[in-house]
Structure 1
């Protein structure tokens, strides 16, 4: 999608949607709590912290996915991307059962593998029969990697089934890979009409999003082909004239990371971190719609080289949203929407909250807070929901969220992790039954 006039039309439509949402938003939730004072849910379990330093293997928790063991739901698993630390697999008590390393650097001057996001494809046809597969975006190599999930092998449930010749997604050479404009955000899904499986992948430092079709090779490994690529706007027309572009590091455009696909419709929801949430028609065809924007939308800012941060450079024009504080991060789908549909959950990273939307309109929010046992979630990067019974621990389903500030004994180390939240607790606060 081109910028300029098209962006102005997109913004005008977005402002109308946002204004309608705000006009219909209640002044208080069902429990009588004033709007803006979001209720809290407490985690039932938390993973051990991982550390983004040499001693910790440069592990940085980012994005989770939840796999349900249909034969024994109590033995279901959470697969999580921890960047240079690869993948970690946890049981429902949040205990690690496997660590899968990211690929090594191809050369002494090159970066190693870096697993940014992870998702699942269910029932992919493999030589051994249909199997569920974890898909990870490898920012370090600009490729996808695939791991068959074997619930019967609890010691090592993930097995690499990636085709050794899987192509780079956005780059043409290792030199380009080293510039780090590579595979970033990820959402995987299967088209219900055709049975074909796909991944939607974003590109770091740009507005590009690509659709990849997953394919099985003659050797039984998994690869992919690029179907099409779209680019979201990087500049937006403002009501009354003028334009606005989000501030970022020099040479970088407002990137997308958090994404999810509604399996019923194929609609792609994409979080452009400093902009808001886009709704993109199935197959990345048609015109994207800006569903909601961050509070900082339209606020002029400039990059300050000395502090390596963006600083405000003018007054807030008041055209931003009221529910999201940049960055927009993990997106996932909650079951139980009107008419049997789904609801969209988004991580509002800048204020440590989660926003829920139904049919494009804000439907409530919450925080994940400390309970005296596990601590809460701050600056959440990724989230995943599974709305199906998971045995005795989570009989109503599970929400897993990343915690950008885990609480290790050594507070001097940069530590992250994941929190496991009972989905029934989330539904209770959204319905106003708790808090």
Structure 2
């Protein structure tokens, strides 16, 4: 009932009441000078009581019904999605079998309930500082559902009866916190003695290459659209034919990222992106200290990472001899072993995009793209550490490209890397031949 209809009905009731009992008009200025409430009540006819009863009911109905003229964009958040979430998270969660519960949470939010609560607990103090009108766990759940299903802000806004701007604002806040507050805790270079030993031993078992501690690769994150006023839009066009931003990661044997860099637009090649990242600067300057050295044929071999032929060959980054398998037996054996090590980062990227589908077609603003990508990498590590079930791998486009040229500043490290690669290839070939 709208306001005008309610007022008309109220007026009709007033006239009806006065017609039934004109001596007890509601607008009369005279009131009994004395008497108890009981006597006053008994002195009046039933008409005023009937009127007050009906009017009270109509008033309650009218006030509890939202105005039809109010726009959906200015409406307050719907209680229904929040109530459903709260019922699941607080009332039903402990009555469900853990496998069923966690399967339902993975379907909705990309991770199990225990991992979800870990994320909420770590972000809650920071979200509290923002004076957000929604509960922290509900806000995190909304963002995780967007990241895991690749939903747009408009789609999520319709589901939760929120303004799309508010959904974007919450997404930006949560992804920024993941990319800044949780990054140092969950994305770390393996410099501690124990972790470095575990990593190199695991890679040794996988590849038979000693002191290997990580694999590097780059992937293009497709952008759904670019800003219309972007002056250098062509620089975002990737070699795969779509606008993108480059993500570079280094992964260990558990497919956990220990370095993440998102800096370059899609047209930039892997070597240029690598040379522009902080990890390259730290490795070049010797800032990263890996306290583990092994002796191979009289050569001191420090920990190193491996990549494909699109990366520069350096003392700390070894690449294949060739990409076509036409080398000598020692070179081919080394290349096969290196590609086994590199497979962990390929699978890690496939898991990343398979679990957080928003990275298959990124639908956030360009200025928030990097933090969204890094946030998904943090969540990926959380899932890998918790040994969450691995989803179907996202299939990457085929790699292509030629070896990059050697920079003058890299020349000595290139020659050292070339000598190290040959030493490891000869050693591996001899060990394989003697079996």
Q: What's the TM-score, normalizing by structure 2?
A: 0.23
Q: Point out the structure with max Rg over C-alpha.
A: 2
Structure with higher helix content: 2
Provide TM-score, normalisation by structure 1. Answer: 0.23
Query: Whose strand fraction is larger, Structure 1's or Structure 2's?
Result: 1
